[in-house]
Amino acid sequence: MPVEDFEELARRAPETVWLEFIGGRLAVKPGPDGNKSEIIAWLQRLWAGRAQGPWLYAHRGLCTEADGTGRMRPDCVLAPARHFVGHGEWSDPVGVLMAVEVTAGDSETDRYTRLEKPDAYAAAGIPVHLLIDRDDRSVIVFNQPEDGRYRHGEKLPFGATVKLPEPVNITLDTEPLKEFAD
């Protein structure tokens, strides 16, 4: 399917249906359940108290993959404040500091989340990718994108202290994630 056809389909989809385009294939991203919403809110509160610096935007549409033909809606993206002013539904990833995904509990969706999305974000040049895996009760921090893959990934259990590398440069106490694992 050409990316233009996907964008038209995504535009016509009901508000309750989020579509993504991964590796030339259509994918349906389920909306967040209560626990996933709480994880996203927890992350947003970490940045909310900062007067200066980046902001964590929920469900921002990004052009991904090396050729820019992928279309994904990370659960959150970290970007400078006001970065997306004037953008349409799908933004170029240049300037995005981090993409965040939280597993949904749906095996097909989670396969994309764990296996395909990290490569698409790396190929797009996003410096950091944070994957919060509720099923595995772990956090994976990917960084150092090169040649369409992240060169470094660190997996830590919920409850660990997680250092997000530059350009994010923040430390997370992931203890609260234990409450939202299921």
Q: Is 103 in contact with 113 (CB distance < 8 Å)?
A: yes
Q: Is 139 exposed, middle or buried (0-12, 13-18, 19+ CB in 10 A)?
A: buried
Q: Give residue-wise pLDDT tens across range 16-41.
A: 788 999 888 898 887 788 988 999 99
How far apart CA 1 and CA 106 sit, in angstroms, is 24
Q: Give residue-wise pLDDT tens across range 119-172.
A: 999 999 999 999 999 999 999 999 999 999 999 999 999 999 999 999 999 999
Report pLDDT for 53: 78
pTM: 0.92
32-180: what fold? tt1808, chain A (3.90.1570)
Pick from 122, 123, 57, 127: nearest CA to 98: 127
- pLDDT bin (cut points 50, 70, 90) of residue 51 is low
Q: Spell out the domain ranges in the chain.
A: 32-180
